[in-house]
Amino acid sequence: MHETREALLKRLEGQARQIRRNIWRALRAGGSGHAGGSSSAADILAALYFHRLCVRPKEPDWPERDRFVLSKGHANAALGAALAQAGFIEDSVLDRFYGFDSPFGMHPDIKVAGVEMCTGALGHGLAVAMGMALGARIQKQAFHSFVMLGDGELHEGSNWEAAMAASHYRLSNLTAIVDRNKISQSGPVADIIGIEPLGDKWRAFGWEVREIDGHNMSEIVDALDAVPLHPDRPTALIAHTIKGKGVSFAENTYLWHSNNVNDEIYARALAELGEP
Amino acid sequence: MTTVTPVAPEWRTKSAKQTRLAFGQALLEIAARELRAVVLSADTQDLLGIRPYIERYGDRFIELGIAEQNAIGVASGLATTGLRPYVCGYAPFLTARSMEQVRNDIAYANQRVVIGAAASGVSLGVAGGTHHALEDLALMRSFPNMTVIVPADVDEAYRATLATLDIDGPVYMRLGGRAEEPPVTDPEAPFHLGRAVQLRSGKDVAVIACGALVEMAVRASDALKREGIGVRVLNMHTIKPLDRNAILAAAVETGAIVTAEEHHLVGGLGGAVAELLAVEHPTRMRMVGMPDTFATVGPTNAVRAKYGMSAEGIVEACRAVLESKSIRS
């Protein structure tokens, strides 16, 4: 049965809302965490896991699967939510975030089904995803490798080593998604160390660039469906997002890069996010 | 995957004089035996003698330029797809510069990546402190999952490189630089990971050495034998996992241990041996290696000798530990 575009967008928006609800649920379980950068990524993750990525939740190591590396590993609550909703892991795991011996600490661990790399130290994921893309080419596999980067993360110079090499090898099977929420741990990225003109930087490194509204599901879907944007170049999607998106008191403030979450805050957040 | 430049005749020979080139030659045999092997370079194609490999297996070669952090990250990504990456580069840069990539992307993620680290120790003596690697063993052996190998000569480097085919996890292979490593191992003997090789027997003192210091230890043993002092020599080619049995047997049977390595006295082979003996069998020890200073500039063997990393230095250390043993008893 063919899904209409309207139905697709509605379904994905529902998954995104559920990811946000699960982010806050996981952070409440842990008592604190990265609400801001997790929430800004939620719509993109919904479009990836419930539309674009060709993966098998019951066969997480399937060799032909598309790869997704969350380089901004501090958004692990969002990844955990997506993996639980997609069926890679038990839903109950979300109630054990940061717990003793939990599969989910603050940052992703490759031992968890669906997690492709241990990340969290910033500036690692792009090189790793590039290796995955090269591995696909060498072994003549058709899968695509996606990596999500934070905008503050782009301060790490290792990203640009990988950006230079990926275009040298014309890795059209590699897509970097920049979660451009414009705020990092201490304040606005522009005030910490400015990264604009960001699109020009990626273009100068040989990437094909598209800028999208990272909360407009229609634009996200169109962009992900259009990947690769160029037959000989890797793709950079710069997704303009709002840190803490969906919960008014957490939006657009570095204070919610990471913060404590108690029962009362959780209830207020869920009230704003609405029913799934 | 890259432009292949013409191969100079000397790279075709099977007579590598340095461990770094033996590693490069072994990659040819590895490529023939393991279709999943891929070789990465950080602009170090001649340093490890991999041009013949590139000529034959260009589709399984990736040049990554002067970007070691990226090389390690890319190797990790390749390994997750089932390939078996061999990363070629300079020891000081692949370890100190890329340490977080090695720790997270390779060791923590437990990926099957082999790091071929040339120019270790003071093997590029004239290059100065920026190009010496005297802390790499301490860094690499501190990571869980990591195997750390220090071949003593060309034959051992070749055999140890082949042995990586059977190691299910990350490997750090420490290789030399421009200086030639004199032959000291038995080229016919199989390489057993994690099992020390006894090259000289003796009951008075045991020298536990790795890398270029193994050959020096043998000379020291032969010199002391002429004075009636029996010096056992163990070639501890694997720093991790450590051959605990060989070390404990040496400690029990001789009561005096000397370690010898081209590495800072902090955290290397000497440290590993001391950690074991302190807990299991406290034993009089002396350590030959680099003291707590950056090494001077100079020809490799002259730099080594200045800091006691020589046969003479090992002889002195043996005398000192024997003296302390006699005072105690």
Residue B48 lies inside a defined structural domain of this protein = yes
- Measuring CA to CA, which residue among B265, B249, B184, B177 is closest to residue B219? B184
User: Residue A77, exposed/middle/buried by CB under 10 A (0-12, 13-18, 19+)?
Assistant: buried
- Residue A1 pLDDT: 66
Same domain, B21 and B154: yes
Measure the CA angle with vertex A25, ends A19 and A31; round to 5°: 135
The whole-number pLDDT of residue B2 equals 39
For residues A61-86, give the mean pLDDT. 98
The residue assigned the tokens 């007579």 is B15
Residue A138 contacts B, CB cutoff 8 Å? yes
> Does the residue B190 lie in any domain?
no
Q: Is pLDDT of B79 > 50?
A: yes
Note the pLDDT of residue A154: 98
Our CA-based measurement puts residue A128 at a distance from the nearest CA of chain B, in whole angstroms, of: 4
Report helix, strand or coil for B242. coil
pLDDT, tens digit (0-9, with 9 covering 90-100), for B120-157: 999 999 999 999 999 999 999 999 999 999 999 999 99
Contact B72 A127 (CB under 8 A): yes
B2 touches chain A (CB under 8 A): no
- How far apart, in whole angstroms, are the C-alpha atoms of residue A41 and residue A248? 16
Domain match, B133 and B23 both: yes
Contact B101 A127 (CB under 8 A): yes
Type of residue found at A19: I
Question: Which two three-digit tokens encode residue B114?
Answer: 């082999």
pTM for the structure as a whole: 0.95
Which distant-in-sequence residues (6+ apart) come within 8 Å of B133 by Cβ?
Answer: B90, B91, B92, B95, B96, B117, B119, B120, B121
| Residues in B touching A116 (Cβ below 8 Å) | 80
β pairing state of B256-264 and B205-209: parallel
Q: Average pLDDT of A150-165?
A: 98
Task: With respect to residue B264, please indicate whether it lies within any of the assigned structural domains.
Answer: yes
Q: Is A87 left (phi over 0), alpha (psi -120 to 50) or beta?
A: left
**Contact B72/A at CB under 8 A:** yes
Nearest to B105 among A63, A124, A141 (CB): A124
User: Taking CA atoms, what residue in B is nearest to A115?
Assistant: B109
The verdict on a CB contact (< 8 Å) between B104 and A124 is yes
- A113 vs B220: CA distance, rounded Å: 54
Bridge pairing between strands B147-149 and B238-240: antiparallel
| A145 vs B contacts (CB less than 8 Å) | 77
Q: Within a domain: residue B76?
A: yes
Is B267 found in the same domain as B127? Answer: no
Do B37 and B129 lie in one domain? The reply is yes
Distances (CA, A) of B139 to B23, B89, B102: 21, 16, 10
Instruction: Tell me the residue range of the domain where B44 lies.
Output: 9-174
Distance CA B75, CA B111 (A): 9
ipTM of the complex in this document: 0.97
Assess contact for B54 and B76: CB atoms under 8 A. Answer: no
Whether residues B137 and B223 fall in one domain: no
Q: Report the 10 Å Cβ neighbour count for B164.
A: 24
DSSP A46: H
- Burial grade of B119 (CB within 10 A; 0-12, 13-18, 19 or more): buried
CATH assignment of A5-273, among 3.40.640.10, 1.20.120.160, 1.25.40.10, 3.40.50.970: 3.40.50.970
Cβ of A133 under 8 Å from any chain B Cβ? yes
Residue B191 lies in a domain: no
Rounded alpha-carbon distances, angstroms, from residue B14 to A261, B21, B23, B155? 65, 10, 12, 11
Average pLDDT over residues A66-86: 98
Run of H or E residues at B63: strand B61-63
Asked whether residue B92 falls in the same domain as residue B141, the answer is yes
Strands (DSSP E) found in chain A: 32-33, 67-70, 145-150, 174-180, 183-184, 187-188, 208-213, 235-240, 259-260
Question: Considering its fold, how many domains does chain B have in total?
Answer: 2
Q: Over 50: is that where the pLDDT of B9 sits?
A: no
CA of A267 vs chain B CAs: smallest distance (Å): 36
Q: Do residue B38 and residue B98 come from a single domain?
A: yes
Task: Determine whether the interchain pair B100/A124 forms a contact, defined as Cβ–Cβ distance below 8 Å.
Answer: yes
DSSP code for B297 = S
Which residues 102-161 on chain B approach chain A with CB closer than 8 angstroms? 104-105, 108-110
Report the share of chain A in percent with pLDDT over 90.
96
Give the best residue of A65, A67, A117, A159 to mutate against chain B (max B CB count within 10 A): A117
The pLDDT of residue B187 is 86
Q: What CATH number has the domain bearing residue B246?
A: 3.40.50.920
Question: How confident is the model at residue A2, as a pLDDT?
Answer: 87
Give residue B188's pLDDT band: very low, low, confident or very high (50, 70, 90).
confident
Q: Is the pLDDT of residue B6 over 70?
A: no
Q: Within this chain, do residues B141 and B289 fall inside the same structural domain, yes or no?
A: no
Measure in Å the smallest separation between the Cα of B64 and chain A Cα atoms: 7
Task: Confirm whether B181 is domain-assigned.
Answer: no
Show residues of chain A in contact with B78, CB under 8 Å. 131-132, 134-135, 138
Residues B202 and B252 in one domain: yes
For B214-265, the pLDDT digits (tens) are: 999 999 999 999 999 999 999 999 999 999 999 999 999 999 999 999 999 9
- Work out the pLDDT band at B4, boundaries 50, 70, 90: very low
CA torsion through residues B245, B248, B252, B254, sign: positive
Contact between B74 and A128 using a beta-carbon 8 Å cutoff? yes
| B79 CB within 8 Å of a chain A CB | yes
CB-CB neighbors (< 8 A) of A138 in chain B: 1, 38, 59-60, 78, 83
- Tell me, what's the pLDDT at B328? 58
Q: What is the pLDDT of residue B11?
A: 36
Q: What would the two tokens of residue A205 be?
A: 């490194």
Residue B32 has pLDDT above 90, yes or no: yes
Of B59, B70, B85, the CB nearest to A165: B70
Whether residue B169 sits in one domain with residue B68: yes
Helix (H, G, I), strand (E, B) or coil at B259: strand
Interface check for B84 against chain A (CB to CB < 8 A): the answer is no
When computed from its CA atoms, the radius of gyration of chain A, rounded to whole angstroms, is 17
- Contact (CB, 8 A) for A27 and A35: yes
Count the Cβ atoms, other than its own, within 10 Å of residue A232.
11
Q: What's B24's domain CATH number?
A: 3.40.50.970
Are B82 and A116 an interchain contact pair (Cβ–Cβ within 8 Å)? no
pLDDT for position B1: 43
Residue among B263, B98, B238, B232 at smallest CA distance from B171:
B238
* Residue A128 to residue B80, Cβ atoms within 8 A: yes
Is A135 touching B (CB cutoff 8 A)?
Answer: yes
pLDDT for residue B327: 74
Sign of the torsion angle spanned by Cα atoms A66, A57, A42, A105: negative
Measured in degrees and rounded to the nearest 5, phi and psi for residue B259 equal: -105, 150
Q: How many CB pairs under 8 A join A and B?
A: 102
A124 touches chain B (CB under 8 A): yes
Residue B37 lies in a domain: yes
Residue extents of the structural domains in chain A: 5-273
| Nearest Cα residue in chain B from A135 | B78
d(CA B138, CA A83): 38
Residue B1 lies in a domain: no
- The residue assigned the tokens 């982010």 is A23
Q: B8 at the A interface (CB within 8 A)? A: no
Does B253 lie in the same domain as B119? no
Does residue B38 sit in the same domain as residue B134? yes
Tokens of A133: 């893309």
Which residue of A63, A132, A139 is in closest CB contact with B77? A132
